[in-house]
Each structure stands twice: as C-alpha cells, then as structure tokens.
Amino acid sequence: MPADRRLFATRGTWSEMRAGFNWHWAADFNIAQACCDDWAADAPDRVALIDVTDTGTRDWTYGQLKDASDRLANVFAAAGIVKGDRVAVLLSQSAEVPIVHFAAMKLGAIALPLFTLFGEEALLYRLGDSGAAAVVTDAESLNKVLNIRAELPDLKSIFCTSPANDAQDLWAAIAAANPDLTRTATTAEDPAVMIYTSGTTGPPKGVLHAHRFLIGHLPSMELTHEGFPQAGDKGWTPADWAWIGGLMDMAMPCLYYGVPLVAHRMRKFDPAAAYVLIRTQDIRNLFLPPTALKLMRAAATPTGLSIRSVSSGGESLGAEMLQWGETSLGAPINELYGQTECNLCVTQAAGFMAVKPGTMGQPLPGFDIAIRDEAGKDCEPGEMGEICIHKTAATMFLRYWNQPEKTAAKFDGDWLRTGDLGRWDEDGYITYLSRDDDVITSSGYRIGPSEIENCLMGDADVVMAAAVGLPDPIRTESVCAFVILRDGASEEGAAERLIARVRARISPHVAPRKVVFVTELPMTTTGKVMRRALRSS
C-alpha cells in the first residue's frame, strides 16, 4: 500500500509543528491518482467507500473505484470531454460522486459539484457561467437539467444514474466502456475542482482550485481529528459533498489516507437517524456542521457510540456545545475555519493545544494568518480587524472563474482578504467576530453576532439562534435575536430571560433589545444562517 502519508507522524507542540513545516507535493500530483489509483495498485481489495442506501449497503474497493472511473473517463473522452472542460456532478452522497470526480480528473477536466437542492434558476446560472460540457445526475434532478438544456449551448452530454429518456445511462455506459485508460498528464497547479460560493453577498462566483489543494487540507485532517488516521478509523459527514466542507473536510481526505468513507444520503438531517447510522456503521470520525450538532444536542444521545473525533466549521460554537460533545459524544468537538477560496487554515485541536471556547483556535502548520485594519496594518491583540491569509497556503484558490477583477479585489498584495472580522489574543488564538457585512453598529459599538448567538445557545431551551442589527433611530442599529426553542418549551418569559443572560454573560451593550421566536431560520445550502434575509424580514 502507499507509504505512510501522514504529515505529522511524530507529535510535537503546536509551535514546533508550525515552525518545522513546509509544503511539498509532486509536480504531477493528481487527486484521482492519489485518492484512487495509488491504492488500487497496491491494495485493490481495500474498502474505500461504504454506500448506505434505503435498499442496502455496498462496499466499494479501491480497485472497483479505479475500474469504474477509468471506464467513465473513456466514456467522457468519447463524448468530447478534454482537459480543462467542466463536468458537473449533480448528485447526493453516493459512490457515483467520487467516480465522476476521478474520471474527470483523469482527463484533466474540472469537477463541478452542485447541490441537488438547487432549483432550475440556480442550476442555469452555474452551468451557464461555468460552460459545463457534461452533467451527471440522478432521476430526481434530471428534469431540472432537461428543462434548461436549451439555454446551455456548451452542454454536450447528460448522464443519469438510472435509465431515463433524453439522457445517457451512466452505468450502462460504464459497463460497455474500454477499461484501459491512458491518463492525461496534469500538474499539481492544473485546475481540478470548481466550487461556487453561496452567493449571499452577490452573484455566486466559481472558485477554481488546483490538484494540490487536497494536500492543503491534510494538516487540519490529521490534527483536528486527533492524530488521524488511526487503526479502525471510519469517516462520515452529513454535509453534502457539493460543499467544500463535505467534500474536502472529510470525503476526499478519507480516500487519500485509505480510511473507509461512509456515503449516505439524508434528504433532511434527522439526528435520530444520524445516531443510528453512526452506531450501526461504527463511525469514529465525523465532520458535523453546527446545525447538525445543535439538532443532535437537542435529541437523545444513544449508547454504543464509538466516536473518536469530531470537527465542525461554518459557525462558531460556544463553551456549552463543546462540553456537550465531550460528555455526550465522548469526543472533543474541534472547530475549524476556512473559506471556499482558502479552506481549513485555523483550528482548535484538543489533543495538541489548550482549547479556548469561543475562539477558532490557532493557525495550522503551513498557513500564515494576519489580522489587519482598514489601512492594511497589522492589528494588536484585542483589536478587531479583517482576517487575511497569505497566498502561499496550499488550499489557496487559483482564481474566480472568468472574473479577473473580482479575483484581484480579493487580494491585498500577497494576502487574501476573507471579509471576516476577528481578533488575536495574547496567546495567538483567533476569535471570529462576524462577516464584515454582518457587523452590528449600535451606539458607536461594532458588534459581531457570533458571541451573542453562542450565549443564547447556552440556554437549555434554545435550539438555534441568530443575531442581527435592525435599524434604530437612536442607536443606528439595535440587536435583534431570532430564536428557535426546543419542542415543548414555553415562550412565556423566555425573551426576558435570554436578554438577561446576554447582559450578564457578555455585556449590556450587546444584549438584544428584541427577541423574535421563529420555527426556522433562513439557511444557505451549506447550512449557514442568512442574516441578510433576517434583516430584511
């Protein structure tokens, strides 16, 4: 099998690991080669993926993934797909997802993961903007593609995972294809994946990543998952593999390290069903978005779990949630931070550093982080500024698709501007405050919503919370909290209790002036609260 791929085979202090770390990868590094073909050559019968469906469970070996992706690459080539073309992957978690990714990458094409929840308008924008040459989808999403096909002049082929009219049968095409493939030569800097931003601050942008960006995710994977991989490890995330969090925070790294990856589609996240899956499949390593964690916390935790590590990213977690993870899940919840443009650059790692609840942790080995003021000067500890990442990070994107001006605007010299506000502390930990456009300006204060939300989430009756600034003729903006209570909890007196909690635990100046109880919050497809939508509601 491939040699030990761990970057941190020996444990050191955080500062030692950062000081002694240098990025390195082969000039011809290719994700499909590293995550599939290398293992297939040395351990073809090793289980790579466990596909859990409503009708049963199937184990996929690396040899089987290689054979299917080689054949599909030949199918794509026969359909005119060449190096640099975009191949859209409109599929839920399943074996077909890595097969399509690997087939595209073996031709030097660019995989374009898309959410199956997207409607026709969202798909039309992304398929049209990217100029996708092929789409692979399932029967449920096929009609959405067919309905917009006439408006997609670059789309050459549509494949469906089951027999259907007006689309090629994916599995029939694979079965009939030549199994012998000559892989197209690629470099580590060649484009491999394009993921669209969520579009909460303007039209979605295609974020183009090179093959080497997989390597950039490995420091976080190894350290956030507490010395990953270890014997018996098995990974799963409920996050859609069309999101960089689902795809790169768990799925692809598992395949790279030879750790079995569980694939399971959940039409809507169900904490009870998630617990059953974790227990029956003996899953040890999880990437759980904050929304999933909050719902799991509100449900009964079963016995018989063997969870070893949990990572989470997308929204800040509070001390109560971290304590719940330790006591109920039996594993630390390690928070991580990144963006679609440059993922997994800051983390907490309980096995390697002292955890400071409310902070994101410290920069990972290989990532240089700065917090800068509006003039571009480095902030002192305690000062709020914009989180910036040096361009040498291995997860740094290549560019926005066909938007050179926006690519240039994303950088200030050698530093990527995240648009996120944060501050250092004296020990080198970073606290995330908010998106720059989520800042609440009240009575001269600039208030980030995350700290308020974490405090509210510490109340036993609160399932989810979001804080926004609403217009106030005196204060400019006043803080308003939108709150989901657990089933059976009474609203009577709850608003006053929650306001008092924030006043007492954080500060009177950040306490909500108003609490609105709701049954749901507007969310992006990646599980982030759309505060902009709340402000306009």
End residue of a domain, out of 210, 228, 256: 210
188 inside domain: yes
- Domain end point (choices 210, 230, 248): 210
If residue 472 lies in a helix (H) or strand (E), which one and from where to where? strand 462-472
pLDDT tens digits along 487-527: 999 999 999 999 999 988 888 888 999 999 999 999 887 77
Q: Is residue 110 part of a domain?
A: yes
The answer to whether 93 and 264 are in contact (CB under 8 A) is yes
On whether residue 130 sits in a domain, the answer given is: yes
444: in domain? yes
**What CATH number should be reported for the domain holding residue 497?**
3.30.300.30
Q: pLDDT digits over 236-249, tens only?
A: 999 999 999 999 99
pLDDT at 199: 55
pLDDT digits (tens, 9 = 90+) for 63-75: 999 999 999 999 9
What stretch of H or E contains 196?
Answer: strand 191-196
Q: Which residues contact 55 (CB under 8 A, 6 or more apart)?
A: none
Q: In what order do the strands lie in the sheet with 168-169?
A: 168-169, 157-160, 134-137, 86-90, 110-113, 191-196, 206-210, 399-400
Domain range for residue 92?
31-47+55-210
Residue where one domain finishes, among candidates 176, 210, 244? 210
Instruction: Establish if 521 belongs to a structural domain.
Output: yes
Q: Is residue 419 part of a domain?
A: no
Residue 73, domain CATH: 3.40.50.12780
Q: Quickly tell me which residue has 């011809």 as its tokens.
A: 28
Contact 469, 478 (CB under 8 A): yes
Q: Are the beta carbons of 357 and 318 closer than 8 angstroms?
A: yes
Structural domains counted in the chain: 2
Q: Tens of pLDDT along 368-393? A: 999 999 999 999 999 999 999 999 99
Instruction: Calculate what percentage of the chain has a pLDDT beyond 70.
Output: 98
pLDDT tens per residue across span 94-138: 999 999 999 999 999 999 999 998 888 889 999 999 999 999 999
Half-sphere exposure of 498 (CA within 13 A, CB side): 35
434 within a domain of the structure (yes/no) = no
Tell me what pLDDT residue 352 has.
94
Which has the closest alpha carbon to 424: 377, 464, 369?
369
In a domain, 406, yes or no: no
Cβ contact 191:110 at 8 Å: yes
